[in-house]
Every structure is written in structure tokens, then in C-alpha cells.
Structure 1
Amino acid sequence: MNKKLYLPLLLAFMVAFVGCKKMGALSPDYFTVTPNPLEVIGGEVPATITGNFPEKYFKKKATVTVTPYLVYEGGETAGTSYTYQGEKVVGNNQTISYKMGGNITMKTTFKYIPAMRKSDLYLDFTVKSGSKSYQLPRVKVAEGVISTAEICDPNALTPALAADKFQRIIKENYQADIMFLIQQANLRSSELNSNQMKDYQNNVKAAAEAPNKKITGVNISSYASPDGGMELNTKLAQAREDNTTKYLKQQMKKDAVNADLTGEFTAEDWEGFKELVEKSNIQDKDLILRVLSMYKDPEQREREIKNMSSTFKILAEEILPKLRYSRITASIDVIGKSDAEISKLAASDPKSLSVDELLYAATLTNSLSEKESIYKKATEIYPNDYRGYNNVGLICFEKGDINAAENWFNKANKIAPNTPEVQMNLGLIELTKDEFAKAEQAFGKSAGSEGLNEALGVLYLQRGEYAKAARAFGDAKSNNAALAQILTKDYNKAKNTLAGVSEPNATTYYLMAVIGARTNNEKAVTDNLNKAIKLDSNMAKQAATDLEFAKYDISSIAK
């Protein structure tokens, strides 16, 4: 070949070779991940990756697509890809200078799965230059995922009970009024033989004879109308009380009614007067009521009202006669079945019990199977009462049968839509499915339900709103409440919460170990992990891959 031609060709080949030289591997030192290690928040693993391409690195005609990968045993999950371009590339991606290099920021999120606890975050680089593309070596930028938030357990919540209204003792009152003529205190036969008095005497006599009723007392309250002098009215009201008491003592003896008899009298019944005026259709009643409020002295009140001559005539005919009476009130305790009787009948003859007695029977046993059986009987005997269905669902939830629980709660909701306790329980079902929006909607209809605050606390935990969760739990003593406090770094309160858990389990001690790790208390770590694993051997595997304990040697415990 002619030497004159050879030299230019050689130079052209060298330029082409240099121009096609691939971009080299990148060092992990160019990248930073926040947080590191990664952490589960609201069921996801978020990461912010910052980094830079060094000077004289990024080829002017190249585009680089960077994809984060969380790599774990058995698989990997890709995050959001970002594309960057060289200075001579026409496009809308961030341009990186060849001479100066450039800084980048990437935000990505991975849907959490348990395998990610032991994982590595890598960056994958795909370079395209012209029609050619190639891969750069992956770069490891972070290691492991803290999954403490995943300890949150909606299944540990207690559904709302649709309570019975059973009362062992029901209070009853029987009443009768004996009316008097103006300025008289004698008992008239027409009053003593009135239908009201006959009903009163029959009811009291029946109560005295009934084995499940007890007369706790009989009271006589006698009154005079406020249209006479105070001295006269005092004597008159007292005489009415004395005469009524004397008569009633004889009647109680005759009917074999044994009960304490008490009495009192009111000389001028201004309160009764005011009440009757308020309920009346008297044209000037507002004026009368103003007079009552203006004057505190009863005699002055009386004078002012009598000055309204036409109005006073109406009062004398329609209101005042109703204030001359003795009211007799018998107080009765109706005593219900004993616990032993109710339990026996629930097993042998449930149809003989009222719905409230049957629901109450379920509270008399600690056996979940017995409770479930009683509540199912309630649904069969009283199919239109939602409480039996709701409470069967509660038992299924506590037994871990979430599908059955949902079925029973839906039956309760069909009978009594939007009932607070049923709505709360349906919200719990949605929590177990990670259907947070539906759960929140149901909880919004659950005002006043027992356990609602804890349910809201779990909802906020699962959404990653830890401060709101801690406020919702308040002073609740549960594992979930303590977890919220740990995640908000209130370790002293979390420790006190766990100490107050009524029935500590493996999770209780595991959380105590987490607190120990976060407060540099190695003894608390080992002691509590030992307790947790003793109660649940699966905790050993969990602890072995838990980054909370990364700086502690727990190899002898977590086997």
C-alpha cells in the first residue's frame, strides 16, 4: 500500500476506535441512598438515590438508562427507571456534560415482600450509542431492608361486640294520684275508688306476691296549689300527706304489702304550676312565666298573678285544681334470672330466653366454641336481630377465620345497615386485605364503637402515618400501640406500653428486643429474643435476618 495513503487510514481507524470506546464501570462511591439501610413504610420500600457521573465520562452521543433493582433470594424487583443523555443527543432527558459530568437524583419505591428483608439494592445501566447498546456492570448501592413496621398486626385487633341489654334488676314504678278540692284535705271515695287507684293497688299487690319482684319503697308526695297564703297552704299540704299516709298504711296491711312508707309535702307547688302553664294554651302564658321568673317571693308572685284578673280566672279553672293532690309512688325491683339459670337454659331450652338473656349467656363462658354456639342459636331464634350475626363474626375473627367473619358481618349489616359496631368490624376486614380506603370509610361510620381508636391506629400504621397512629392509640396497652411509639422513636413510652400488655406474647418480647437494640441495651436484646423464640420458634428465623439486630451477635439465639 502507498505510504501516503496508509497513514491517513491508520489515523481514521484510531479516531473511530477511540470514538467507539465503551463507557466504563462506575464505582459505588458515586452514589448515595437514603435511607440506608432501606425501610418499609406503609407496605412499600421507598428509596432516594443521588449520584453523579464523573468528569469526562459520559459520552456525548450516548444515552444511559439507570434502573434500580432490589435483589433477594429467589428473585429481584425493578424500580423506576431514569434515562440520561449526552450533549449531542436530541431528546427530553436530563443532559450530562462530558467535560463536567453531572449530578442525578432518582426516587423509587418497591412493593414490599418478606424476602426483601435480606436484600441488596443495585443500579443497572443500559448504554445506547447510535445503533449499539450494551450493559455496564451493576453497582451495589445499599444493603438490606428494615421491616419493623410490618410487625403491625390487624388480626390482633378485637372486633366490636354488639352488646346485650340484659339487666338483672329492672326498676319499675307504679303511680296513682288522689285529687283534693280547694282548701280541703279529706279523702273522697270517688278518688279512692278511681280506676287509677284500683290499678295501682292491684299492681302493688301482685308485685308483693310475685317471687321475682320486690317492693323497695312506697312514697307519698302531697301538694297545695299556690293560690293561698303560705301558712294556710303548709297546713293544707301536711294534712293531705297525713290523711293519705294513714289510708295507705291500712290498705298495705290489708293487701299484705310489706314495704317502707315515706312521705313529704310541698306547701306551694310553683314548679308544678310553671310546668302546667308551659304546656297549656293560655293566651297570656308568656306573661305569667315572666312574672314567675321576676319574683322570687312566693306571696309576691301570687299577688302579681291575681292582679291579672281575667287570666287568673283561667288559671283557677284550668291549672290550679291540678296542683291539689297526693301522688303515691311504689318502687319495684323486677329481679331477672340468675347467671346459673341463664347458662342452663341457654344449653337446654334457649327459646325460653329473651334475645338479651341469650346474648348475655354467651358472656358467662370463656370458651370461644360455646360463645359461638350461643350466638348462632340467637341468629336462629331471633333472625331479625343483627347482634347475633355480628357476634358470631367476632368469634370467627378471633379464631383467625377472616373469610367466615366477613360473611357473618355482612349478614349483620344487611339486617342493620350502618350500625357503628358492624361498620367497624367490616373496616377491620378491609384492614386485613390492605384495603385502606375502604377501611377508613367504614371507620367513619363507626363513631362510639369500642376499639375504634385502636383500629384507626392500625390503619395509620399500615399507611405509614406513624405520628397519627401514635395519637390514635393514646394510652392503649397493645403490641400495635407500642410499635407506633417505636416508629416515632418514643422508646420509653413504648417500653411502658409493652409492660402493660395484659397477655404478652412472642411479638411483645420481640418488640422489647427491638427497643433494646435501638437503645444499645444488648442484654435487653438477648433476654427478650430468648423469650420471644421460646413462645414462637418462627421468631428465630425472623431475628436472624432482621437488620435491627445487625450489630449484635445473636447467632446462638436465632438458630
Structure 2
Amino acid sequence: MKKISVIFSAVAVAAMVMTGCNPLKKMKDQQNLVKYEVKPSPLEYLNGEVPVEITVKYPAKYFNKKAVLALTPVLKYDGGEAAYETKTLQGESIKENNQVVKYAEGGNISYQSKVAYKDEMMRSELVVRAVGKVKGKDVPIGEIKIADGVNVTPLLAEKSPKIYIAPDQFQRVTLQAKEAEILYLINSSNLRATELTKAEVKALKDYIAALQKNERAAVQGIEISAYASPDGPEKLNDNLSKGRKNSSQQFIKEQLKKAKLDKNVKDDMLSTLTTPEDWDGFKALMEASNIQDKELVLRVLSMYSDPVVREKEIKNISKAWTEIKTSVLPKLRRAKLAVKANVTGYSDEEFVQMVNENKIDTFNLEELLYAASLVQDNEQKLALYKKAAEKYPSDYRGHNNMGCIYIKMNKLDEAKAALEAAKAIQDNDIVKNNFGCIAMLEGDMNKAEELFTAAAAGGDVPNYNLGTINILKGKYDAATKFFGTQVGFNAALAKVLNKQLDDALASLGGIKEDNAKVYYLRAIIYARNDRTDDMFNNLRTAVAKDPSLKSYAKKDVEFLKYFNDDTFKSIVQ
């Protein structure tokens, strides 16, 4: 706000005491020589208080050597008033301990004080009441107006903190895979009945059959990897790996045909790989085994790359080779099968319908969390998060998000209990932020700020809350830094309060909501920039969207210079 210098007399001496040798008489007569400078003017709300700084400039040969003057700034408003601390001055001949103003030189008096803010102070006036002392008696002098109103633009801030809902990891389309392994006899590529009836192969058959019945599933690919053990001639092993690939591929095709999926699987969806001598598999099995002299075998693998040399050297380790032939090599004569399918989850509409019908028991964790983001009713959200916490007690998100909904419902005790459960599982930035929200709603700004600061690495949400707290504490530069590049009303308001008006307008331009307060804040910016027509247009839109802003604008000293303007009055009437 602009500084305003107001020239007033400190005293308006009552006629009954302004006779004879009264030391206050001359001061009264020359009252137009005294200057008052009030900062800020109008006064400004700051962290629950209304501070004031007054500089009184007394000219030379003005302040009587025998005068004593008590000055009390008073903020007067409809229905009451609030007195600031009294400042007592004295002439240089007075033997008291007050600040002295010399007669010959005059002097400047600096004064600072503050009072607690009340909403009624928005439309008010600051006066100074003077009381002089004559021969030991208090003489009421009167009061002088030195400023208008209290600017409360910081109170436009949206004070509700932002809760931090832990995100879901729901994916509409997920890739699933079912795998099985078929083992072959030495020097054979034939499928054995014992292999085709074992559990993992049977499960693969069932999976393929189920895909045909699942309208949400679509085969994406089939992978076949066929291997031969590294013992024996290389050409033989090459033929064996190819033969095992062909037999396992034929098996898969038969299963697809049975399930009537063969026409859905194009040639380019089938991927095959043959490994004639599976030395990598051999090494892995050896490392995991308890075979005697396995370290010698592994050393051979590291020393030689030629497969013929490797096989010869390993066979020379006779005790190990005997066990390798029975417990390692049979596991390498195999084909690995994998059937992959994309499964499409519920649509948003289906999720909402199932929640409305209370059919949420079949949802998995990510579906529960995602469904909660789709519904608007807090009770439904709460039911979903409770179910998540019950079914998945080791995941903090269900408990955390329950706490968030309780905060929205203003059930802070329940919110604390849910967040404590989340904290016991994972004490992270998200949980800290939400505890900060509770502290802020309970009015403990210091604790809230401490928690938000601890959670600041969590990103925009805790930093938004820190920005809001700093607005309310009057630390506007810090607030703008916490908001950073975030777009929102409070971010724009912080820039206005920090006198970054152009940046504030740009920030408001990024807000998508058609909000009355956005237009009102624009009107304030244009009023400060003396863009009268733009101010009127935005104020007119603001009050049309929210008629309660009419009575507010009438008292808002942001528009002080327009209070008597006919256009302004027509907008707010």
C-alpha cells in the first residue's frame, strides 16, 4: 500500500484549559505544523494482528518545554474500538522519564504497536487520542483521524490445507503371463504323457481355456524356448533343440485350437528360440547345487569358452560328472512355454456401478484405491479405503486415505487413528503432510509448519500447505517460493501480497475453475494498477457469481479510492 502522510495537530485543546499561561495553547494554535506518517496506510492485517508504525514530526519551536502529552492510537470500528499502546511525550523542562521533544530543534517520534484483529475492523478508522497534563491534572484534548480501514486481502486465502491421498497404481490393461516347462528324455524330442499331465502344464492348459471364456482377455503373444543339455555332439544338440521346439509348438497349437483361439493368434505373435547347448542354464544349476567339486566345474567354465574343451575337462572330474549326469543335465533338456494376454479391467462406469451396488469384495488393492477416486460420496470413499486396509493390512495407503477422508469430514480423532496406523506401516512424506493438515485445522500453525516442512520433499501438496501457512503468517516472499510454479488461487494471492502483480495475473490465467474469488482478486490487482475499467468489469463478474462479495467489497479498502464512485456503488449495492 502507498504511504500516506497526513498533517494533523497532536492536540485539540479544550477551550476551558486554553487560557492564561497554559503550555498547551500555543501548540494547539500551531497544530497544522505537526506531521503524521502512518505505515501502512490503510493498515494491513498480519498474522492475526493489525500492526501500525507512526512517525510524528514536530517542527522547531513547537513543543512547549513544560508540556506533557499522552498519545493513544485507537482503531475505531462499528460497534467497538481497540486501543494501541499509549506513547507519552514531554518537554525538556519536565522531570519525568518520558521521551523528550526539544523546543528549539523539534524532533521526530517513531512509534510501533499492534492490536488483535477482529472482522469488524475491516471498515474502520485510525485516530490518535491526546491527553495533556496541566499542573498534574489530565486534560482530555480530543482525537485526530490519521488513517482509513484495515486491508485484509491475506484473509482471502483458501485456508483449508490440502490432504495427500496416496496414489493407486491401477492399470486398465495389464499384461498377464502363464508359464510351464516340459522336460524331455536324453536324445529325445518326444512329448511324454507324464509331462503333459503334471500340475504346471495342466495349469497352462486351463489358462488357455479360460482366456477363451474371458471377454476382457486377448492373447498378445506366445513364447517357446527350447534347449538341449551341453553334453554330446553339437550337431545332435542342435537337432534336439529344434525338435523340442517343434513338438512343444505343436502342443501349444493344439491347446489353442481346443480353446478356439487358434484364429486369434497370428504368426507374428509366436516367438521361438532354440539353444543347442545350454551352458548358461548349466552354470546356474551348478551354482545352486551342493555337488562335490562344483567349484572346480565352475572354474572350468570360467577358463574355457570352447564347448568341446569344457565338456572334456568337466568329464575328467569324475565324481562331479557322475552326479551332474543325474541331477543337472536332465533339467536342461526342456522347453519353456509362456502364454501372454492383455486383460482389460473394469471401465470407470462399471467401477461406479459396482460401488453403488456394494459389490466391492472382489476388488484387488489397486482397484479399491482407484474406485475411491471415481466416486464423490465420502462414505463410499471411506468404505473402499476401509476394505483396502482390511484386505491389505501391510499397505499403508488404505489407512492413510481413510485418514484423509476423515479430515474432509472433520472427524479429526478418527483421522488421527487412521494416520497412526498408516505411520506404523510407513512413516513417509504423505503421512506427515496429513498429520500437518490436522494440526493446521486444530489451529496449531507451528506444529503444522513443522510437519509440512518435514514432508516438503513430497512435492506440491506439502509445499502448497507451507505456502498457505506463510500467507497467513504474513511471510509473502516465502509463500511465493513454496508455491513455485503451482497454479491456483493461493499461489496467485501470494504474488499479489508480495507485490508481483503481473505474475499474479499470469497465475490467475492458468486457473480453469470459473470462480468468483478469481475475478475478485483480478479486480484488486487492477485497482492497485489504476486500471479502472478492468477493475469494474472483474468486480462486476465476481459479485454476479457470488453476491455475498457485494457487502465485502463495500468494506474492502483495496477499493477505498472508489468508495464514492457511482459505478462502484452501482456494482456493490
Q: Map 1:18-37 to 2 at 5 A.
A: 24-25=27-28, 29-37=34-42
Check 1:81–1:285 CA distance in 2 against 1; reply closer, same or farther (3 A cut): farther
Contact 1:378 1:388 in 2 (8 A): no
Instruction: Give the deviation of 1:128 after TM superposition.
Output: 5.8
The counterpart of 1:511, out of the listed 488, 503, 521, is: 521
Q: Distance in 1 between matches of 2:438 and 2:477?
A: 23
Q: Distance in 1 between matches of 2:317 and 2:144?
A: 100
Q: Which moved more, 1:169-178 or 1:218-227?
A: 218-227
The counterpart of 2:182, out of the listed 178, 195, 198, is: 178
> Which residue of the partner structure matches residue 418 of structure 2?
412
Q: Distance in 2 between matches of 1:179 and 1:53?
A: 106
Q: What is the SS of the residue equivalent to 2:553?
A: helix
Residue 441 in structure 1 maps to residue 450 in structure 2: yes
Give percent identity, aligned residues only: 32
Residue 331 in structure 1 maps to residue 345 in structure 2: no
Contact 2:368 2:385 in 1 (8 A): no
Q: Which moved more, 1:267-276 or 1:519-528?
A: 267-276
The code of the aligned residue for 1:246 comes to: Q
Contact 2:404 2:434 in 1 (8 A): no
Q: What is the SS of the residue equivalent to 1:100?
A: coil
The counterpart of 2:504, out of the listed 488, 494, 511, is: 494
Check 1:432–1:19 CA distance in 2 against 1; reply closer, same or farther (3 A cut): same
Q: Distance in 2 between matches of 1:118 and 1:430?
A: 31
Contact 1:33 1:49 in 2 (8 A): yes
Q: What is the SS of the residue equivalent to 1:557?
A: helix
Residue 468 in structure 1 maps to residue 478 in structure 2: yes
Contact 2:221 2:341 in 1 (8 A): yes
Instruction: Give the deviation of 1:377 after TM superposition.
Output: 4.3
| TM-score, normalising length: structure 2 | 0.73
Contact 1:423 1:446 in 2 (8 A): no
Contact 2:208 2:255 in 1 (8 A): no
Residue 557 in structure 1 maps to residue 571 in structure 2: yes
Contact 1:39 1:146 in 2 (8 A): yes
Q: What is the SS of the residue equivalent to 1:507?
A: helix
Instruction: Give the deviation of 1:480 after TM superposition.
Output: 1.8
Q: Distance in 1 between matches of 2:289 and 2:70?
A: 87
Q: Distance in 2 between matches of 1:201 and 1:22?
A: 112
Instruction: Give the deviation of 1:505 after TM superposition.
Output: 1.7
Check 1:441–1:265 CA distance in 2 against 1; reply closer, same or farther (3 A cut): farther
Q: What is the SS of the residue equivalent to 1:107?
A: strand
The code of the aligned residue for 1:40 comes to: Y
Residue 109 in structure 1 maps to residue 114 in structure 2: yes
The counterpart of 1:372, out of the listed 378, 396, 405, is: 378
Q: Distance in 2 between matches of 1:241 and 1:429?
A: 63
> Which residue of the partner structure matches residue 523 of structure 1?
533
Check 1:550–1:271 CA distance in 2 against 1; reply closer, same or farther (3 A cut): farther
Q: What is the SS of the residue equivalent to 2:55?
A: strand
Contact 2:492 2:505 in 1 (8 A): yes
Q: Which moved more, 1:302-311 or 1:141-150?
A: 302-311
Check 1:247–1:352 CA distance in 2 against 1; reply closer, same or farther (3 A cut): closer
The counterpart of 2:158, out of the listed 153, 162, 167, is: 153
Residue 51 in structure 1 maps to residue 60 in structure 2: no
Q: Distance in 2 between matches of 1:101 and 1:88?
A: 14
Q: Distance in 2 between matches of 1:124 and 1:287?
A: 102
Across the two proteins, how many residue pairs are aligned to each other? 527
The code of the aligned residue for 1:533 comes to: V
Contact 2:460 2:486 in 1 (8 A): no
Q: Distance in 2 between matches of 1:48 and 1:534?
A: 38
Check 1:557–1:511 CA distance in 2 against 1; reply closer, same or farther (3 A cut): same
Check 1:230–1:20 CA distance in 2 against 1; reply closer, same or farther (3 A cut): farther
Q: Which moved more, 1:272-281 or 1:200-209?
A: 272-281
Check 1:235–1:466 CA distance in 2 against 1; reply closer, same or farther (3 A cut): farther
Unaligned runs of 5+ in 1: 1-16, 397-403
Q: Distance in 2 between matches of 1:41 and 1:286?
A: 79
Q: Distance in 2 between matches of 1:268 and 1:527?
A: 82
Instruction: Give the deviation of 1:531 after TM superposition.
Output: 0.7
Residue 427 in structure 1 maps to residue 436 in structure 2: yes
Check 1:550–1:250 CA distance in 2 against 1; reply closer, same or farther (3 A cut): same
The counterpart of 1:262, out of the listed 271, 281, 285, is: 271
Q: Distance in 1 between matches of 2:536 and 2:239?
A: 85
Check 1:256–1:541 CA distance in 2 against 1; reply closer, same or farther (3 A cut): closer
The code of the aligned residue for 2:179 comes to: Q
Check 1:187–1:77 CA distance in 2 against 1; reply closer, same or farther (3 A cut): same
Instruction: Give the deviation of 1:354 after TM superposition.
Output: 3.4
Instruction: Give the deviation of 1:532 after TM superposition.
Output: 0.9
Check 1:235–1:487 CA distance in 2 against 1; reply closer, same or farther (3 A cut): farther
The counterpart of 1:121, out of the listed 115, 122, 126, is: 126
Residue 386 in structure 1 maps to residue 366 in structure 2: no
Deviations 1:337-381 (A, max 9, x none): 55555444433444655375566555545xx4xx23423544776
Instruction: Give the deviation of 1:521 after TM superposition.
Output: 1.6
The code of the aligned residue for 1:416 comes to: A
Residue 249 in structure 1 maps to residue 253 in structure 2: yes
Instruction: Give the deviation of 1:529 after TM superposition.
Output: 1.0
Instruction: Give the deviation of 1:125 after TM superposition.
Output: 4.3
Deviations 1:477-498 (A, max 9, x none): 3222221222233333322332
Contact 2:63 2:91 in 1 (8 A): yes
Contact 1:230 1:299 in 2 (8 A): no
Check 1:277–1:89 CA distance in 2 against 1; reply closer, same or farther (3 A cut): farther
Check 1:149–1:72 CA distance in 2 against 1; reply closer, same or farther (3 A cut): same
Q: What is the SS of the residue equivalent to 1:510?
A: helix
Unaligned runs of 5+ in 2: 1-19, 391-397
Q: Distance in 1 between matches of 2:162 and 2:296?
A: 55
The code of the aligned residue for 1:456 comes to: L
Instruction: Give the deviation of 1:32 after TM superposition.
Output: 1.8
Check 1:548–1:209 CA distance in 2 against 1; reply closer, same or farther (3 A cut): closer
Contact 2:400 2:422 in 1 (8 A): no
Q: Distance in 2 between matches of 1:492 and 1:42?
A: 25
Q: Distance in 1 between matches of 2:317 and 2:495?
A: 70
Residue 198 in structure 1 maps to residue 202 in structure 2: yes
The counterpart of 2:363, out of the listed 335, 339, 354, is: 354
